[in-house]
Structure 1
Amino acid sequence: MIALALCAWGQACAQPAAPEDTLPLRSSRVLGPTAKSNAKPALVISGAKVTVQADQQAEATDGVELRYGEVLLNADKLNYRIAEDFARAEGQVRINHNGNVFTGPLLQLYVSRFEGEFLTPSFFLAATGGAGKAQVIKFQDSEHLSATDGSYSSCPVVDNREPAWQITARELRLDLAANEGEAEGAVLRFLGVPILAAPSLSFPLSSARKSGWLPPNISLDNRSGFEFGVPYYWNIAPQRDATLTPFVMTKRGVGVDGEFRYLEPGHAGRINVDLLPSDRVFGQSRWALKLNNDGHLGDWRYRLKSERVSDDDYWKDLSRRVESQTPRLLASDFTLNRQRELSWGVIDTYARLQHWQTLQGTDPLAQFDSPYQRSPQIGIRVTTAADEAVLDSFRPWGRKARLEGGLELEYNRFDLPGSARPGQPLGGQRVHALGHVSAPVGGEAWWLIPRLSVNAAAYDLERPQDDGRRRMSRVIPTFSIDHGWVFERDTKLFGRAMRQSLEPRVLYVNTPFRDQTNLPNFDAAGKDFNFDSIYTDNPFSGVDRVSDLHAVSAGATSRWVSAANGEEMLRVGAVQRFLFRDQRITPDGQPVTQRFSDLLLAAAAHLDERWWADSTLEFNPETGRSVRSVVRARYSPGPYRTVSVAYRLARAQSEQVELAWQWPIYGQPVTSRGADSRATCSGAWYSAGRVQYSLRDKRLTDSVAGFEYDAGCWVLRFGLERLSTGRAETNTRFMLQLELVGLSQLGSNALKVLKDNVPGYRRLSSDRSPSSDFLP
């Protein structure tokens, strides 16, 4: 049975006075849960005047409020028939149910089962943050409702004016339990102009997944023309989905993009297929295939990542469909490994296949050497348990020094892809062993790590070297000592309490010379000369080259850390290497005879919450000139206001300046959901972009620049993106995106382009919409 409690404010029907110790009902706008999950909640009616006929009906007027569980109803007049559990509310009716709010002149409702009808109501949906109105809303139950001749928008309601954008539908059905909405005769209008119509469409009521058509993708560039695609999303199962996007390009023709994703127990992956059956410009079919999968097979973990395209010019013509960070070098990589953790260390067993597709093109000056493929790579790596506390410059009391070490045994077969340039040295086989043993010791503020390592390799080549040998081997030992300290003190910087550290570090390395002139080089390359590589024992990555380095690297770093919040406010550092003998094996092939290396300097500052700056400098003491330098600074005084500049120099190679920004340029910025505009003069205009200019070539390189208009419930973005595809070739793309706040984003994905290119960029609608920054 439903308990009926009646109370009145002002005049009321005659009732026995409540005992003094009875707690009175207290008005609250917060609806709490019932005391028992299987018990029906009490129904409470209050008003200025309440009249009750026992077991028949109750009538209330003036400031009426009805509460039942999660239902809160307010009205000017209420008639409630007790036996039928039927309420009729008139006047200024407002009902709040699970955060959804409906207001209108007349409501008829069976309260306990939430079934009824609301005439000409306005509504607010908590799941989407949008509002609308309808001729009639029918409640089937607490989870299902339908609206006739309804409209919906996230724009605020303004008297005698249509919202900037809205969806109208002949009939709208909402299934709150299934998070699903269906609309018949739907039309999307923007500034009064219909821009999208559909006889029937379905959509999710929140960010959860739902099958159906997604907003169209629109792009325009100088190589493919105007492109229009409409994605269809298929929510196959909770752990699987697919997206199919038919598209048309005005210059090239019709095609389709497809994506399939899965997330199974122990396995996850993504498959992308892009197909352009007949490219009118290129003259043949074009395609791209991308595989990204990983998972477990018993104790073994596998990972497959592969990208392949149909032709060498694909990265120029269809660059948006290439994911690789090196668009002319596409990898197919399959790895399989098993790791076993024992009490004394870790055993890692692994196998790998790594192949390449090189997009060479027809210009011989633009072609490049292909890296070698591994067909296959098989190895085992054994490592003792590291004393991490010592390596992190802290040793608990009582910890004793001990020997630590590791051993790697590996077999590789190297070959070249079919797309490699003619004339590259052929491959071969290699077996190598990398081993080391060390005895780290340390205290609370220091460490000392002596280390002895060995790099041994044996080769069997497909073609003899210049000296006629096909088989060869070598063994190269290295001895090093890494020693460092961490000193700290309390101090002040610009009047603020700081903890300053001084961190000197010294690395001694001695590797004897071994002639490697006639040995193959399958995977070794010079490391970038920086603060990290100067503290390593070999200037090469990979296995095939080991430098004859006899040197000591010495440097120090000092940091000022805020005592209040632990944030690093200032950092400066310097390091330099001293050679005890000439270095004959170097990354560029030229012997190094100067005793002192280039001096590396670095600094970073964040002394004010609005300013960030950092720089690095490589200085040659013999010439008195900088070899490389990078200087960056960023100013961010508030939301949606950021400017950054950068200067990069690599002497005799490149010199570049960069400017990036996001900044309001006109109008009053929107600060809340309630802002709305139909006229461009009352919103806010922003500019955002990144421009790179090569001082050496005297031309713009990869750049993007655009404008954004924020009207509160919608945001318009447009701009240009310029990508270099050759010495005298560029791909210029026009971006246009309309974001309907709380609904979707239409057009090209200008938002993602700006976020990827502008340091500190922030989405204008981030405080008004839960939608993803990366939706199309």
Structure 2
Amino acid sequence: MNYRFYTISSALLFFTGVASAANNAAWNCEQTKNGEWTCLNQTPAGNELTAQPQVIKPTPPAQAKPAPPETVAQPPATVVPAPVQQAVKPEPEPEKINVVEKVVEKAVAEPQKLRVKVTENQKPVLEKVETKTETANANSGKVPGWTCKTGDDKSGWNCNLVGADPKGEAHVVAEGGGSEESGSYLFTPTFDRKQERDFQTLRAEFDKDPWQSCEVWGAKKRKIRATSAEVRDAATTDINADFSEVFDGEVLNFAGNVDMVRADQHLIADKASYDTVAETLDAQGSVLYSEDQLAFSSETASLSLGKDEARLRKAQFIVAEAPFRGNAEVVYRESKGLSRYNDAAFTSCAPGNQDWIVHASRMKINRDSGQGSAKNAWLEFKGVPVLYTPYISFPTDNRRLSGLLAPTWGSTQRNGFDVSVPFYWNIAPNFDDIVTPRYMSKRGEQLRNKFRYLTDMSRGTFSAEYMPNDQLVNKARYSASWKDQTSLLPGLSSLLDLNYVSDKTYFNDLNNALGFQNTSYLPSTALLSYGGAVAGTGVGLSVGAYHYQSVDKTIPDAAMPYDMLPRVNFNVARAFEGLPVTLAMNNEFTHFYHTDLVNGQRINIAPSLSLPLESSAGYFIPRITGQYTQYQLSNQTLAGQPSTISRTLPIFSVSSGMNFEKDLNFGGSQYLHTLEPQAFYLYIPRKDQSNIPVFDTALYDTNFYSLFRENRFAGGDRVQDANQVTLATVSRFIDSNTGLEPLKVSLGQIMYFQDRTVTMPGQPTETSNTSNFVGELSGQFSKHWSYMTGTQWDPEANGFARGQVALKYNMQPNQIVNLGYRYRRNPLDSLQTISQTDVSFRLPLFGEWYGFGRWQYSLNFDKTTESFIGVERENCCWRFRILGRRFINGANTIAFIDPSTKPETAFFVQLELKGLSSFGDNVDTFLQTNLKGYRKASYFE
């Protein structure tokens, strides 16, 4: 048997004499079926004796011998049916256990405490133990204080006190009430007020509230560690009851306020009986049971402890880890992992809230297989039935299970009503597949498929979509994608990201309005890499192939990027311990391919030597690099161009800076003020590079950090000529108490000592003596408020070339505000100038309702390029969202917006029943992309 020790606390009250009590008080008696009488002494006021039930046996036959006057055969107030008494077999005298009633002058105020020591194949042995104080049972699971029920006109109130008498003092009512149902319902609520109060009692059984902080959508789920069987077997079980008895050393009976505790297990009942041989426990009347992950209450409970079997009637339960709660007419626990429920209803809503509930006539949960099923299941929301199914199967944990997933739907101006119903196929533990039929009222049917795999070496997905006939363009459309990551050897890995679509407008047309293409090109990559930190060396090698497909109809084929088939990079770096010397070499070979332009093979070798001198006070790092580049060209588009071109250039640079710190007291607060002046000198001799084609090179955008680059061109086709020095400084104010940085100022500018003749094709020589003056200002007003502003002053044009202002408020996860303005002037084409405002937010409205939205407006084109507005409500058990979006398709990928372009509209609804499923389109990814600062709920877990 599992149980080793029991403690029985019996309220044994003794009397000076039954006859004396009978003469002084009236008795309220009731005869049982076997002829025994149970009587309650109605003690008058002022009598010292407490009324207790007494057992009166039928008159025995004449030959029966009466019991000796000094010994009572049974404890008072114990009802023993006659058949059970006859079944008791005589035992040797030393092993008999008799409870001797002691004669006392007054009623015993403290009940006598007895411990029953039970071992295998032996009878219980009684031992005296210390009496528990009243506070020891203060948390017995029942709500402390007075509990009253209304009686009839004569009897008045029927009240019961648990714990200490509050004596009229006010006390805090538990959150959620439990006595009042929240919200309004069309029909009668599933759980009445009494059941909701019972749920509150079960809720109090746990050390921590299962629904604690459940209103916060990003709150972490409570992790519960189950108590092991070894801990329970070794624990002592304390049992407190008003009355107790032992039959034949095998059956333990308890009656009246039965309270059992063992390790994390807790049982309360009016009556309980435990058979030590069969290892069965029967409890009746207001049964309450709890452990670390589960709590339930029922009218009756039959438990087979040895077989992990149980039967409960009219049960209510709470599963803390989910959390879930519900009720059932009958619960059968057939094993530790298998249970069945009749006429069941459950929800994840906290007690006092039953906004959604799932009902089922039959339900089965198999935790061993991780599967559950229900018959005649239907879902109600706010008391209104919304969904019915004659049969449904579902997973009970994170193990995968084949079946239909929640459908998604929406409506867009481009596609009309759009609905998808995915089907999940669990092929094997490391393979699965999602097949999604999709219907668009304006375009027709589409079939999507996503296959996932996982092996010891690799993981990846293969996705494909096919539309046999798009009714708007009258042609078939399709796409395919393969993503794979494979670890071949330690330090050696491969990456595949292959994508293809049937036409340039595929994403703009067939992505729903919550997803859009944010680039003009669809890349495909195959990469094999061996490297440095993973391999434990200073050597890095990568071999890759890169291909691009246009997904923007405004881009001609001649403007497409070059394919790189292949690109090989071999890099070596070595630092010497104890010496301020660093050697490095970056080597690259690339084959550029284009159908309409000149093709070429480029070899670039760049060894470098640096002497870093660094300390906490500052740094001084001279560096010299020799760069050699050679081209082999083919498919020349211009006559007379050479097929072989080479270029050799030395690059010399010196980076230096100093760090100054000072403590300041400003406005009664302590701050650390830093001043970090920096200087960067760069020299590269001038070399004509106009005959070199441009394969992968473009100008870097100008910002504070670009002032310290050795080459203002990204890519290897251009190396700038330079004789220049950068002067800059950074100053910070840091709050010494909070660590916040309320102010950071960055200022810098490049001084040129010569003109820059190396430019991109079609651009003039740059003759200015200075670069744009760059200034950036940023900081944090508080933990939630921050700001950032930056500007660039063009001394040649005597005006602003760049400008940006942003103000952010972020109190995760519920409150977000972003205000911003961006300006970027293009001196060559005014139509390419950007002047744009951007406002986005997520803020509470009232109650549990939140509003969110974004408005992006182009002042240059006098158009709204992106806008959406929505509201959502979230509480502990569900979240509802409604979102409307108005946007210009492709506005994020093009610099010029045609004035005739008309915006599109879309409308989406999402209902998420927490712990069950989500209905509608998932907008989390869309908000994460378009609402700065927004994160999915899983980000905070």
TM class by shorter-chain length?
Answer: 0.7 to 0.9
Alignment length (residue pairs): 729
2:114 and 2:272 map into 1 onto residues whose CA distance is 25
SS in 2 for 1:701: strand
Please name the residue that 1:164 is paired with.
355
* In the alignment, structure 1 residue 408 sits paired with structure 2 residue 583: no
Q: Deviations over 1:574-620 (max 9, x none)?
A: 01000001112235722221212111111111122231101111112
One-letter amino acid of the structure 1 residue matched with residue 644 of structure 2: R
Q: Deviations over 1:260-283 (max 9, x none)?
A: 223322322222222223222232
Please name the residue that 2:186 is paired with.
none
Shift of 1:241: 3.1
* In the alignment, structure 1 residue 372 sits paired with structure 2 residue 556: no
Q: Which has the higher strand share?
A: 1
* In the alignment, structure 1 residue 724 sits paired with structure 2 residue 888: yes
Please name the residue that 2:869 is paired with.
705
After TM superposition, the score normalised by the length of structure 2 is 0.72
1:190 and 1:200 map into 2 onto residues whose CA distance is 19
After TM superposition, the score normalised by the length of structure 1 is 0.87
Cα 1:157–1:307 shift into 2, 3 Å:
same
SS in 2 for 1:597: coil
Structure 1 residue aligned with 2:523, among 294, 313, 331? 331
Structure 1 residue aligned with 2:734, among 553, 561, 566? 561
1:60 and 1:634 map into 2 onto residues whose CA distance is 65
Please name the residue that 1:540 is paired with.
713
1:434 and 1:665 map into 2 onto residues whose CA distance is 59
Cα 1:32–1:706 shift into 2, 3 Å:
closer
Please name the residue that 1:349 is paired with.
541
The gaps in structure 2 that reach 5 residues or longer are: 14-74, 76-98, 100-111, 116-125, 140-204, 208-224, 891-897
Please name the residue that 1:79 is paired with.
273
Please name the residue that 1:427 is paired with.
599
Structure 2 residue aligned with 1:112, among 269, 282, 306? 306
One-letter amino acid of the structure 2 residue matched with residue 650 of structure 1: R
* In the alignment, structure 1 residue 634 sits paired with structure 2 residue 808: yes
Please name the residue that 2:247 is paired with.
53
Structure 1 residue aligned with 2:850, among 686, 701, 705? 686
Q: Deviations over 1:528-586 (max 9, x none)?
A: 11111110111001100111121111101112223234333321110100000111223
Q: Deviations over 1:394-434 (max 9, x none)?
A: xxxxx4422x22223322211126xxxxxx52222222212
1:554 and 1:206 map into 2 onto residues whose CA distance is 60
1:84 and 1:20 map into 2 onto residues whose CA distance is 24
Residue correspondence of structure 1 range 618-767 to structure 2 within 5 A: 618-636=792-810, 640-651=814-825, 652=830, 653-666=833-846, 668=847, 684-726=848-890, 727=898, 728-761=901-934
Contact 2:749 2:770 in 1 (8 A): yes
Please name the residue that 1:313 is paired with.
505
* In the alignment, structure 1 residue 151 sits paired with structure 2 residue 349: no
Contact 1:72 1:96 in 2 (8 A): yes
Q: Deviations over 1:283-333 (max 9, x none)?
A: 222222122211222353111112211111102112349989644311111
Residue correspondence of structure 1 range 178-257 to structure 2 within 5 A: 178-257=369-448
Please name the residue that 1:390 is paired with.
none
Shift of 1:754: 2.3
1:335 and 1:324 map into 2 onto residues whose CA distance is 26
Structure 1 residue aligned with 2:643, among 470, 473, 477? 470
2:248 and 2:383 map into 1 onto residues whose CA distance is 54
2:317 and 2:536 map into 1 onto residues whose CA distance is 66
SS in 2 for 1:469: coil
Contact 1:34 1:69 in 2 (8 A): no
* In the alignment, structure 1 residue 441 sits paired with structure 2 residue 633: no
1:428 and 1:77 map into 2 onto residues whose CA distance is 91
Shift of 1:209: 4.0
Contact 1:50 1:59 in 2 (8 A): yes
Cα 1:251–1:354 shift into 2, 3 Å:
same
Residue correspondence of structure 1 range 548-587 to structure 2 within 5 A: 548-587=721-760
Shift of 1:722: 3.4
Shift of 1:634: 1.6
SS in 2 for 1:760: coil
Shift of 1:69: 5.9
Shift of 1:498: 2.1
The gaps in structure 1 that reach 5 residues or longer are: 388-398, 418-423, 669-683
1:586 and 1:493 map into 2 onto residues whose CA distance is 49
Shift of 1:17: 6.5
Please name the residue that 1:590 is paired with.
764
Shift of 1:236: 3.8
Contact 1:376 1:412 in 2 (8 A): yes
One-letter amino acid of the structure 2 residue matched with residue 589 of structure 1: Q
Q: Deviations over 1:169-202 (max 9, x none)?
A: 1211112344332222222222333333333222
Please name the residue that 2:181 is paired with.
none
Compare CA radii of gyration and give the structure with the larger one: 2
Contact 2:740 2:782 in 1 (8 A): no
SS in 2 for 1:120: strand
Shift of 1:633: 0.3
Please name the residue that 1:607 is paired with.
781
Shift of 1:489: 2.0
SS in 2 for 1:735: strand
Structure 2 residue aligned with 1:529, among 673, 686, 702? 702
* In the alignment, structure 1 residue 90 sits paired with structure 2 residue 288: no
One-letter amino acid of the structure 2 residue matched with residue 332 of structure 1: S
One-letter amino acid of the structure 1 residue matched with residue 246 of structure 2: V
Please name the residue that 1:5 is paired with.
6
Cα 1:371–1:494 shift into 2, 3 Å:
farther
Cα 1:255–1:199 shift into 2, 3 Å:
farther
Cα 1:712–1:128 shift into 2, 3 Å:
closer
One-letter amino acid of the structure 1 residue matched with residue 419 of structure 2: F
Shift of 1:3: 3.1
Contact 2:508 2:517 in 1 (8 A): no
The alignment yields a C-alpha RMSD, in angstroms, of: 3.1
SS in 2 for 1:278: strand
1:660 and 1:335 map into 2 onto residues whose CA distance is 38
SS in 2 for 1:141: coil
SS in 2 for 1:316: helix
Please name the residue that 1:676 is paired with.
none
Contact 2:9 2:114 in 1 (8 A): no
1:579 and 1:699 map into 2 onto residues whose CA distance is 40
